[in-house]
Amino acid sequence: MKTYQRFPLDLVKGKGCWVWDEKGEKYLDAVAGIATCSLGHSNRALIKSLSKQLRKLQHVSNLYQIPEQEELAQWLTSNSFAKSAFFCNSGAEANEAAIKLARKYGHIKRNIDNPIILCSKESFHGRTLAAVSATGQPKYHNGFEPMVDGFKFFSYNDNESFKNLFDGLEKTGPKIAAVLIEPIQGEGGINVGEKSFFQLIKAKCTENNVLLMFDEVQTGMGRTGTLWGYEQLGIEPDVFTLAKGLGGGHAIGALLVNQLADVFQPGDHASTFGGNPFACRAALTVGREIQKRKLLIKITERGIQLKEGLINLSLKYSDIFFSTRGIGLIQGLVLKDNKKITSLDIVKSALEEKLLLVSAGAKVLRIVPPLIITKKEINELLSRLDKCLMKLS
């Protein structure tokens, strides 16, 4: 089906931060499967561990104990505040699980007949019907109405907007089950959460026994320079969701919770493929490689290098760009309200320079390379971006 407006490019192999098309042309990949290929392409550790896993066991039902799944759950909980994990196949599924968890929590813990989940405008939580209903961008709703009820929206990084919505709903009694929010909005334009704003949300949720749920599908697994995005904000949510970088290119999602393991009972939620041995082995390999190779330090260093380079480009091409946004290896260039050039125009122009980039809306160019990118490759990325901007300018 024509659900993608694809670029005329057939990619057939990859190594590290580079990919090749069927003609043998080599491209620098600053998309990484949209913040997914954490260890780059054809990573040796993944090849070794997954080849070994394929000779053992690929998939069994969750009706049985799965050692690899338990091992991954142990790694995740040992390296975060969480105490329990539920595994699925994608970010949208992880957020669906979080939404169901929040609704049941609202019913059994707060005695709410019709629980409401607060979400931010410009957010993105996935393409399933409930996840897209929680997404604060009307363009994703068009043609799929009616949306799932039970979601209300506030403005991101706006204290008054959040307080007014929260206090107005709770004024006459419990109504809110949870707040679902991204530490950094990815698809919404690389908007970085402000600490004071998130501290307000945390305080309100704690005071009213409302769940604070972080969508870390794009920020989790080291993307920001810390293992989890919530560490950048200095607070811990009650729930967070993972996918994308967790599997390093293999399909896996996760819902992580602190003291909420008893909310779901057998039969409440499930996933046929979720947490299968192969996907869990991939995620374990990614997590251990991040630690073994001390990638968090390198991500922070490369993020600073990339940020400085993007600031220089935004100043050089001030007729095109308004500012830069981001942290670690999730960065964005914000375009001015100039209808002559869009982020998609830059993405297309970059292809001619053998550089892969991705948009985050019409006005933000997103740069999310593999976490293993080197200093030399960052410089190459900036050089190729400079060349394509020179043509456009």
The pLDDT profile of the chain, 393 residues, written as one tens digit per residue, is: 999 989 999 999 999 999 999 999 999 999 999 999 999 999 999 999 999 999 999 999 999 999 999 999 999 999 999 999 999 999 999 999 999 999 999 999 999 999 999 999 999 999 999 999 999 999 999 999 999 999 999 999 999 999 999 999 999 999 999 999 999 999 999 999 999 999 999 999 999 999 999 999 999 999 999 999 999 999 999 999 999 999 999 999 999 999 887 899 999 999 999 999 999 999 999 999 999 999 999 999 999 999 999 999 999 999 999 999 999 999 999 999 876 899 999 999 999 999 999 999 889 999 999 999 999 999 999 999 999 999 998
Q: 36 in helix, strand or coil? A: coil
User: Is residue 10 in a domain?
Assistant: no
Give the pLDDT score at 362: 87
Residue 282 · residue 46 · CB < 8 Å: yes
Instruction: Report the CATH number that the domain containing residue 155 is assigned in CATH.
Output: 3.40.640.10
- The count of other CB atoms within 10 Å of the CB of residue 78 is 9
Does one domain contain both 338 and 245? Answer: no
Among residues 97, 42, 25, 103, which one has the least CA distance to residue 252? 97
Does one domain contain both 261 and 310? Answer: no
Residue 276 · residue 58 · CB < 8 Å: yes
- Print the domain residue range for 352: 295-373+382-392
Distance CA 132, CA 144 (A): 9
User: Is residue 24 in a domain?
Assistant: no
Does one domain contain both 313 and 300? Answer: yes
- List all residues 6 or more positions away from 271 whose beta carbon is below 8 Å from its beta carbon: 62, 86, 87, 88, 89, 93
- List all residues 6 or more positions away from 31 whose beta carbon is below 8 Å from its beta carbon: 356, 357, 358, 368, 369
Provide the number of structural domains found in the chain: 2
Distance CA 10, CA 352 (A): 14
Task: Give the Cα-Cα-Cα angle 228, 234, 239 (nearest 5 degrees).
Answer: 55
Binding residues for N(2)-acetyl-L-ornithine: 127, 271
Distance CA 318, CA 222 (A): 31
Does one domain contain both 132 and 82? Answer: yes
Q: 171 in helix, strand or coil? A: coil
Does one domain contain both 213 and 302? Answer: no
Q: Please state, in angstroms and as integers, the Cα–Cα distance from residue 129 to each residue in 19, 143, 277, following that order.
A: 34, 12, 28
Does one domain contain both 349 and 334? Answer: yes
Instruction: Report the CATH number that the domain containing residue 323 is assigned in CATH.
Output: 3.90.1150.10
Angular region, 256: left φ>0, alpha ψ -120 to 50, beta rest: beta
Does one domain contain both 249 and 365? Answer: no
Residue 140 · residue 132 · CB < 8 Å: yes
Does one domain contain both 124 and 203? Answer: yes
Does one domain contain both 283 and 323? Answer: no
Q: Out of 251, 275, 292, pick the residue that ends a domain.
A: 292
| Burial classification of residue 109, based on how many CB atoms lie within 10 Å of its CB (0-12 exposed, 13-18 middle, 19 or more buried) | middle
Give the pLDDT score at 302: 98
Binding residues: 91-92, 124, 127, 215-218, 271-272
Distance CA 250, CA 43 (A): 12
Does one domain contain both 110 and 210? Answer: yes
Q: Out of 275, 292, 309, pick the residue that ends a domain.
A: 292
User: Is residue 13 in a domain?
Assistant: no
Does one domain contain both 221 and 286? Answer: yes
User: Is residue 51 in a domain?
Assistant: yes
Q: Please state, in angstroms and as integers, the Cα–Cα distance from residue 353 to each residue in 21, 232, 297, following that order.
A: 14, 34, 29
Binding residues for pyridoxal 5'-phosphate: 91-92, 124, 215-218, 272
